[in-house]
């Protein structure tokens, strides 16, 4: 790992550790303008969940939702499934997933930040969810066996990785044959260069590290996934969009 890569990872860790501490004291906001758009165009965070979904979790879990979409609406979860949330943060998507897969299912949350893991475990306990399991680790090296997960979800986290091919390879590795991907992320238009993305926002703000639509699709296919669908939902900066990302591992 290069010094620059390690520095970026540590910057991300510090940023989200601070967000966890703020959420725990009910002071957190969403990514919002820091993700590249202004307050009117950057509809990030807990506002992207329905009132009913927000009622299913604690205020701290909702406040710690720093994503760019609602992967629960993308993943089409079913009773009894095993779900993995990459970069689970305050746990909102894990808690919602755990409820949807029911007592015969399981929802894993993976995060590298101790503060977020502590917050997520507390939020899950307050929600009375017993099938939510939070793991410490990096999304480039998932601490789960191959072929152990039905669905991988993530909410505006893949763009934060400094090694996205490794993340996509890990997604493919842990999925069962026929397993699927339901991700919300920030994605750039193909004509926007990496320098152009960096000019529109910071790395920790979900912008500078975003893949383009073509890069994302090629990366998923290179990892062995098929039926790739990327759909822009709303613009967060010029040429940058929140998007839904779907794919499937061949059966």
pLDDT reported for residue 205:
72
| Range 3-248: architecture per CATH | 3-Layer(aba) Sandwich (3.40)
Rounded-to-integer distance, Cα 152 and Cα 247, Å: 10
Contact present, 90 and 20 (Cβ < 8 Å): yes
**Domain ranges, ordered by start, for the chain:** 3-248
Give the list of residues 6+ apart from residue 39 with CB closer than 8 angstroms, or none.
Answer: 32, 33
Considering only 2-11, 15-24, 184-193, 224-233, which range has the smallest mean pLDDT?
A: 15-24
Is the model's pLDDT at 133 over the cut of 80? yes
Rounded-to-integer distance, Cα 120 and Cα 136, Å: 11
pLDDT reported for residue 207:
83
Considering only 13-17, 23-27, 68-72, 201-205, which range has the smallest mean pLDDT?
A: 23-27
> Region 112-140: what's the mean pLDDT?
94
pLDDT reported for residue 88:
93
Considering only 7-16, 144-153, 215-224, which range has the smallest mean pLDDT?
A: 7-16
Mean pLDDT of the chain: 83
> Region 159-188: what's the mean pLDDT?
96
Considering only 55-59, 66-70, 80-84, 196-200, which range has the smallest mean pLDDT?
A: 55-59
pLDDT of 4-55, one tens digit each? 777 766 766 676 666 656 665 554 444 433 343 333 333 444 456 555 655 5
pLDDT reported for residue 251:
94
Rounded-to-integer distance, Cα 163 and Cα 251, Å: 26
pLDDT of 89-117, one tens digit each? 889 899 999 999 999 999 999 999 998 89
Question: Any idea of the CA torsion for 147, 114, 117, 233, to the nearest 10 degrees?
Answer: -80
Residue 164 pLDDT class (50, 70, 90 cuts): very high
Give the list of residues 6+ apart from residue 25 with CB closer than 8 angstroms, or none.
Answer: none
pLDDT reported for residue 14:
74
Question: Is the pLDDT higher at 250 or at 62?
Answer: 250
Residue 57 pLDDT class (50, 70, 90 cuts): low
> Region 188-204: what's the mean pLDDT?
89
Phi-psi sector, 239: left (phi>0), alpha (psi -120 to 50), beta: left
User: Among residues of the chain, what percentage have pLDDT more than 90?
Assistant: 61
């Amino acid at each position: 790992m290069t010094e620059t890569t390690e520095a970026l990872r540590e910057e991300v860790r510090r940023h989200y550790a601070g967000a966890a501490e703020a959420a725990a004291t009910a002071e957190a906001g969403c990514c919002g303008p820091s993700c590249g758009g202004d307050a009117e165009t950057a509809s990030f965070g807990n506002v992207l969940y329905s009132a009913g979904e927000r009622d299913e979790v604690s205020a701290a879990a909702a406040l710690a939702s720093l994503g760019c979409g609602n992967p629960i609406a993308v993943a089409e979860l079913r009773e009894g499934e095993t779900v993995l949330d990459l970069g689970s943060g305050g746990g909102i998507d894990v808690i919602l997933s755990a409820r949807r897969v029911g007592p015969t299912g399981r929802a894993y949350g993976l995060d590298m930040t101790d503060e977020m893991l502590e917050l997520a475990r507390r939020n899950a306990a307050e929600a009375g969810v017993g099938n939510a399991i939070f793991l410490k680790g990096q999304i480039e090296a998932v601490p789960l066996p191959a072929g152990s997960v039905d669905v991988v979800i993530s909410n505006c986290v893949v763009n934060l990785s400094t090694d996205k091919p490794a993340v996509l390879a890990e997604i493919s590795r842990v999925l069962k044959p026929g397993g699927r991907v339901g991700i919300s992320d920030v994605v750039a238009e193909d004509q926007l260069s990496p320098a152009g993305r960096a000019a529109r926002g910071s790395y920790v703000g979900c912008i500078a590290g975003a893949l383009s639509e073509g890069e994302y699709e090629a990366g998923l296919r290179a990892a062995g996934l098929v039926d790739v669908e990327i759909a822009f939902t709303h613009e967060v900066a010029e040429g940058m969009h929140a998007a839904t990302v779907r794919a499937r591992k061949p059966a």
